[in-house]
Amino acid sequence: MRSAVDGINATTANLNRLVTDNRAPLRQFTEGGLVELNAALRELKNLTGNLSAITTRLERDPAGYLINSKQGYQPR
CA distance 25 to 34: 12
Q: What is the mean pLDDT of the chain?
A: 88
Rounded Cα gap, residues 27 and 33, in angstroms: 9
Give the per-residue pLDDT at 72: 54
Share of the chain above pLDDT 90, in %: 55
- Tens of pLDDT along 47-74? 999 999 999 999 998 888 778 755 555 6
**What pLDDT, on the 0 to 100 scale, is given for residue 67?**
80
* Per-residue pLDDT tens over the stretch 37-47: 999 999 999 99
Amino acid identity at 36: E
Domain range annotation of the chain: 2-67
Query: pTM for this structure?
Result: 0.53
CA-to-CA distance for 24 and 33, rounded, in angstroms?
Answer: 12
